[in-house]
């Protein structure tokens, strides 16, 4: 699954490349060849929903998650867009409404479900490490727990 609206990720990559090339210019070392590998491009979530973003006062939240082997997250949902990049491990995400599960491994990019109850679990032998990016209306949370 590929992500067309990866402007946040693209911006971070561009900033990193700019900082890298600026540092190289300062010490007058020849710049190394930059390799850009597209990771994702899509217009829908993991659940097949169209990706929608907050219409005003957008806030970007970036977090790292570490989920130990055998651990599960509580059943939850996201009211706004959430993206995750799997840095390590194997994550299984199950839609609590349909029972359908999808597995993700190191190097996978996840466009999480919006407004659908789901649960993630580490099904591997090593910790799952995620880089998570949320786009929310300023001052709001992007995770609601099922009661």
**CA gyration radius, the chain:** 17
Which of 83, 94, 84, 85 lies closest to 123 in space, CA to CA?
A: 94
Band the pLDDT of 2: cuts 50, 70, 90.
very low
C-beta of residue 133 within 8 angstroms of C-beta of residue 83: yes
C-alpha atoms less than 13 angstroms from C-alpha of 130 in its C-beta half-sphere: 26
- Global pTM value: 0.75
- The whole-angstrom separation of Cα 58 and Cα 48 is 23
Residue 31 confidence (pLDDT): 76
- What is the domain partition of the chain in residue ranges? 7-138
What is 7-138's CATH number, 3.40.50.300, 3.20.20.480, 2.60.120.10, 1.10.10.60? 2.60.120.10
- The whole-angstrom separation of Cα 112 and Cα 100 is 14
Residue 119 confidence (pLDDT): 97
pLDDT tens track for 56-93: 999 999 999 999 999 999 999 999 999 999 999 999 99
């Amino acid at each position: 699954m590929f992500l067309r609206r990866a402007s946040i990720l693209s911006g971070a990559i561009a900033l990193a490349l700019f900082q890298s090339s600026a540092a190289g210019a300062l010490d007058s070392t020849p710049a190394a060849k930059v390799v850009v590998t597209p990771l994702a491009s899509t217009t829908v979530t993991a659940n097949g929903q169209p990706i929608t973003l907050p219409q005003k006062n957008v806030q970007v939240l970036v977090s790292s998650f570490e989920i130990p082997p055998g651990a599960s997250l509580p059943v939850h949902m996201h009211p706004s867009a959430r993206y995750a990049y799997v840095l390590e491990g194997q994550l299984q995400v199950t839609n609590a409404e349909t029972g359908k599960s999808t597995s993700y491994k190191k190097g996978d990019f996840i466009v999480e479900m919006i407004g659908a109850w789901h649960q993630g679990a580490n099904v591997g032998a090593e910790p799952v490490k995620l880089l998570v990016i949320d786009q929310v209306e300023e001052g709001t949370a992007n995770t609601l727990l099922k009661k």
